[in-house]
Structure 1
């Protein structure tokens, strides 16, 4: 199977696909990017996730199912006129589940690694980026189901008209502990989720990154 042949490069491929999600808007802008290209970057990333699961049959088939649902919802979105919240929420939930599962799998594979190579370093970074994407889907789901859970500086952000960029930005600002304050969670649930994402980022750095660094130091000594 081709996916198994690519398995040694799984983290590099996954990381590159994540970079398209984060920075694709720099290359392509406008409504075409928001409605077509941006959802495609997630489908590509889920496809890259298949490589991560290529040695686990059940997990692999589960990711194939998520990929199929994501593609189906993307087609439904294109064929639905106007702004359809139900399709968007369903697609958001599918992507959220994907990143929860893939983050756990990345952490497991990095944790179990005996030798620290460039591939593992890419995996370490990809795991951190995936936490930010979990936050993005969590935040956007909250705002879609309970509008007004977040408030933004109206001169800089129109949350409803620019959900993708606004919450992608907010998720990583939270994860990186920057917190400019131009977007703020105002509902109690949104505030708790914001704290959770910040804690996950700090725990990842303190535990997972520290373990990888420790293994690398031991590897150099040997």
Structure 2
């Protein structure tokens, strides 16, 4: 997977509200996707997925990797269109494979941005929430990709129906991703293949580590702000306006 260089600059100061559109796309995927059913469910799922990728590329539009991210997003969109024009799993697999690095690169850059902040504000909180939701979205795409490449990687136990459509399977894997991220673990969906089991373990580790990092960062910044506010001025310095 492509690694982001250390000197990438996020488009935060120039955009004013860099995370609002991205957070809206993530929440739309989280809230709307589980209720999609019927013939148009797949189309709506793909539209939400593409909206998410566009929002991700928008956040990093001043990054040095912006052309790469946009290129991957465009190719992913072309693959989504192609899967409705041609039979076979190829375009669908390719769209998932192209979407994963877009989400990954954007999440890495957002995490670096949050690590550089020196104060707690709404932008910092929204950015942290976006990264956390990004983790679940990326792992859902990974689970879906694994299930397509290695059929039988997941046992859906009580959810098994006579006919399991691709949309129904993806909806369950979406649910499984966020439940694993939260380490809730209801046990109604079980990873069976070694790859699926490894991904589930890694998602739990990454999710818990990120929560510890983000909360520690917020608390540290808040404490630092309070100390600066009550710290007396150094001898010889006069307060502003006096």
TM-score by length of 1: 0.89
Per the alignment, do residues 4 and 191 of structure 1 end up closer, same or farther by CA in structure 2, a change over 3 Å counting? closer
Unpaired segments ≥5 residues, structure 1? none
State the 1:148 CA deviation: 0.6
Name the count of aligned residue pairs.
215
Instruction: Name the counterpart of 2:155.
Output: 151
Instruction: Name the counterpart of 2:133.
Output: 129
Inter-partner Cα distance in structure 2 for 1:28 and 1:140 = 17
Instruction: Name the counterpart of 1:31.
Output: 39
Inter-partner Cα distance in structure 2 for 1:45 and 1:28 = 17
| Residue in structure 1 matching 2:81, options 75, 99, 114 | 75
Name the one with the larger helix percent: 1
* Structural RMSD (CA): 2.0
State the 1:28 CA deviation: 5.0
SS in 1 for 2:17: helix
TM-score by length of 2: 0.82
| Residue in structure 1 matching 2:90, options 86, 90, 97 | 86
SS in 1 for 2:16: helix
Unpaired segments ≥5 residues, structure 2? 1-10, 229-242
- After superposition, the C-alpha distances for 1:13-70 in whole angstroms (9 at most, x for unaligned) are 1111111111123675422122x111111211121122321222x3211121022112
State the 1:85 CA deviation: 1.5
Instruction: Name the counterpart of 2:236.
Output: none
